[in-house]
């Protein structure tokens, strides 16, 4: 069994667009005709340039190789160009291809991927969701309205979710960590208060940010929201300073979660050493399923938990679920429910009352609807996610809709 052919599909989710502007799906086929699907998350270049990176990584390190040789192929890609350090774009390309290898291996052995990476530890995986505008909400007002957020939280809990995430604390910018505006802190407190009042003890609050604060700003914000007992304070500062992460973890009481923008075990080990309590690997960036399994083992040795991140399509989500089924220190998995996410994999994996049952079909347990993916090509020139150039607005306040806001209707 040898890896033979590669196909890449860049598909754009239609409105409301949750999950980013486009998804990079990879299809690997063996010489004996077994097809595996993967998804690349990390891309610091546009989709056409990223297509070339994926093709290069496959041709250099994987073509003609057995899909079983995950470790060998990882070491080739990790060491390419005399690096032996995580280049996020190269590791993003490898990660998607690696996920596809596991899909192939599971299909070849007629077993789900979780059975090949340690077996079933969890019969079901706890899911959480971001709070998105409901159909009747004003999508512009939603992002600064504690009351509308509380409404969305109520609907999520009514569906069975036991944790909801929201990020009302202002913009993430190319300027690095900034001090939050006092109005951003007040708005964050108001969101926590409204959602906690609405949900009571029925669900955990997950306070999201995107690495936008200085150390002092993150500590101020964490202390301000602590009385509402959020389960985590996500990525409070930029991802490249682990000593600063440790100062934030020690300087305020909310457990620090991080990992969306980290890649490979070395970076996650540094986050753990700094005091991160919850790791959030994005499997399409972190190095793939096998590297994420190693990351989870490091977390277990630090009595830390794992909550795989998702702001992508359903192929990466499927990989997250198989990883989660196998982990003793799983906390939960991020989930995005849109018709496009569901239809792209034919509803093969789905949330049931806030939990995802362990998949039973071989491989990832999904088949991608290629016709649907190709019928929604990406034609824009923006990246999957983008940071803004404008600084934090200390005078008029900030309204943040994410790096890839929903298209205008």
| More confident position, 270 or 398 | 270
Mean per-residue pLDDT, 362-372:
97
| Cα–Cα distance measured from residue 292 to residue 22, given in angstroms and rounded to the nearest whole number | 23
SS3 category, 300: helix
Q: Is 97 in contact with 74 (CB distance < 8 Å)?
A: no
Please report, rounded to a whole number, the percentage of residues in the chain having pLDDT higher than 70.
Answer: 98
Residue 158 gets the label, from left (phi > 0), alpha (psi -120 to 50) or beta, of alpha
Other C-beta atoms closer than 10 Å to the C-beta of 51 total 19
Flag whether 76 is in a domain.
no
Active-site residue (options: 61, 140, 302, 309): 309
Flag whether 108 is in a domain.
no
Mean pLDDT of the chain: 95
Q: How far is CA 311 from CA 176, 267, 285, 308, 362, in A?
A: 21, 20, 11, 10, 25
Flag whether 70 is in a domain.
no
Residues 6+ apart with CB under 8 A from 222: 233, 236, 248, 251, 252, 253, 254
CA 357 to chain centre: 19
What is the number of structural domains in the chain? 1
Mean per-residue pLDDT, 252-268:
97
SS3 category, 89: helix
Question: What's the pLDDT at 409?
Answer: 43
Flag whether 107 is in a domain.
no
| Cα–Cα distance measured from residue 47 to residue 78, given in angstroms and rounded to the nearest whole number | 21
Question: What's the pLDDT at 407?
Answer: 53
Count of helix runs (H) and strand runs (E) in the chain:
13, 12
CATH code of the domain containing 310: 3.20.20.120
Q: Residue 111 has which token pair?
A: 């077993």
Q: Output the CA torsion sign for 147, 152, 158, 163.
A: negative
Active-site residue (options: 178, 210, 341, 384): 210
| Cα–Cα distance measured from residue 170 to residue 84, given in angstroms and rounded to the nearest whole number | 36
Indicate if 322 belongs to the active site: no
Flag whether 9 is in a domain.
no
Question: Is the per-residue pLDDT at 234 higher than 50?
Answer: yes
Indicate if 178 belongs to the active site: no
| Cα–Cα distance measured from residue 328 to residue 10, given in angstroms and rounded to the nearest whole number | 34
Question: What's the pLDDT at 105?
Answer: 98
Question: Is the per-residue pLDDT at 405 higher than 60?
Answer: no
Residue listed under structure tokens 């190789």: 65
Instruction: Answer whether 0.85 is exceeded by the pTM.
Output: yes
* Nearest alpha carbon to residue 111 among 360, 287, 296, 297: 360
Please report, rounded to a whole number, the percentage of residues in the chain having pLDDT higher than 90.
Answer: 92
| Cα–Cα distance measured from residue 251 to residue 213, given in angstroms and rounded to the nearest whole number | 14
pLDDT tens digits, 122-166: 999 999 999 999 999 998 899 999 999 999 999 999 999 999 999
Name the residue range of residue 181's domain: 115-362
Question: What's the pLDDT at 406?
Answer: 53
Mean per-residue pLDDT, 88-102:
97
């Amino acid at each position: 069994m040898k890896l033979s052919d590669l196909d890449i599909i860049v598909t754009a989710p239609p409105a409301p667009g949750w999950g980013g502007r486009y998804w990079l799906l990879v299809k690997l086929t063996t010489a004996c005709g077994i097809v595996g699907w993967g998804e690349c998350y990390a891309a610091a270049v546009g989709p056409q340039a990223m297509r070339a990176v994926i093709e290069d990584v496959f041709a250099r390190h994987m073509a003609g190789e057995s899909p079983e040789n995950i470790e060998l192929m990882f070491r080739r890609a990790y060491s390419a160009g005399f690096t032996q350090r995580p280049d996020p774009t190269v590791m993003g390309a490898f990660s998607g291809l690696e996920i596809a290898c596991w899909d192939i291996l599971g299909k070849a052995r007629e077993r789900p991927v979780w059975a090949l990476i340690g077996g079933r530890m969890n019969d079901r995986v706890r899911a959480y969701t971001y709070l998105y505008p409901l159909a009747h909400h004003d999508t512009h007002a939603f992002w600064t309205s504690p009351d509308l957020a509380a409404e969305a939280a109520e609907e999520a809990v009514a569906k069975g979710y036991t944790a909801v995430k929201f990020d009302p604390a202002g913009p993430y910018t190319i300027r690095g960590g900034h001090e939050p505006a006092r109005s951003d802190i007040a708005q964050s407190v108001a969101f926590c208060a409204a959602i906690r009042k609405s949900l009571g003890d029925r669900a955990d609050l997950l306070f999201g940010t995107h690495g936008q604060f200085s150390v002092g700003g993150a500590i101020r914000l964490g202390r301000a929201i602590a009385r509402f007992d959020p389960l985590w304070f996500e990525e409070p500062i930029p991802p490249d300073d682990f000593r600063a992460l440790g100062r934030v973890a020690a300087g305020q009481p909310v457990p620090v979660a991080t990992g969306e923008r980290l890649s490979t075990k070395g970076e996650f080990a540094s986050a753990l050493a700094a005091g991160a309590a919850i790791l959030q690997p994005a499997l399409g960036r972190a190095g793939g399923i096998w590297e994420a399994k190693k990351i989870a083992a490091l977390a277990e040795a630090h009595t830390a938990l794992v909550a795989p991140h998702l702001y992508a399509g359903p192929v990466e989500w499927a990989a997250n679920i198989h990883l989660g089924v196998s982990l003793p220190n799983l906390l939960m998995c991020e989930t995005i429910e849109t018709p496009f996410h569901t239809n792209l994999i034919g509803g093969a994996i789905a949330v049931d009352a806030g939990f995802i049952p362990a998949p039973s079909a071989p491989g990832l347990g999904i088949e991608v609807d290629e016709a649907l993916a190709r019928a929604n090509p990406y034609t824009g020139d923006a990246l999957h996610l983008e940071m803004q150039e404008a600084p934090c607005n200390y005078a008029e306040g900030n309204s943040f809709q994410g790096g890839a806001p929903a298209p205008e209707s």
